[in-house]
Amino acid sequence: MLRHDIAIANVAAYRTFVGQGFDALFNVTVTNQGDIPETFNFTVYANDTAIETHTVTYLLSGLNRSTTFTWNTTGLAYGNYTISTVASPVPVETDTADNNYTCWVIITLVGDITGQGGSPDWNVDMKDVSYVARRLARAVGLERRRQQRRQSRHERHQYCSQALRRTHLDILEHKKIRKRKKRGVAGDFAILEFLFMKVSTLAM
């Protein structure tokens, strides 16, 4: 007897922490563990709200298929959101335990880089400025070592940006950062300027 069995193999968030108003990107991988090609739907939820429903068409036995989807966080409250992906069972499917997959993302302030245990603390303050400043200082030191070794100076500007990207925040894409970079302010210093202004505004 031919077996019908699909599964959600993985759901990966491109960023764990997302600045409010920015898009959260996810990659969903489904698999056909049965014996014949299958067509089915899966739906992605943020807490109890459906984000998107996608149709997987004619997925061959033993193969995976990945789909990327976008969740716009404009207007959403700060906090931890459970992202659940649920695949509708195909006819005669009995093993449905793996038809769902759960991950999470946190929506926070743009610039909220530091917090207890590496999580956001829902505030932009001098701790965030200090975080960036320390990495900038390391980047400057790295540039000097690169120069001593006669290596590319371009790597200095990449260092701080890469460090910030690893925090999974959207500060580098903020429109104010882009404006500062366009008028010739170095990217690292533009970030510091943005954070100082943010801290000053919140303190008023």
* pLDDT at residue 16, as a whole number: 87
The verdict on 29 and 66 lying in the same domain is yes
Domain stop point among 92, 108, 124: 108
| Predicted model pTM | 0.69
The verdict on 122 and 100 lying in the same domain is no
Confidence of residue 109 (pLDDT cuts 50, 70, 90): confident
The verdict on 86 and 35 lying in the same domain is yes
Question: Domain containing 34: what range?
Answer: 6-108
The verdict on 131 and 163 lying in the same domain is yes
Number of domains in the chain: 2
C-alpha span between 204 and 194 (Å, rounded)? 16
Confidence of residue 115 (pLDDT cuts 50, 70, 90): low
The verdict on 93 and 124 lying in the same domain is no
For 146-169, what is the mean pLDDT? 51
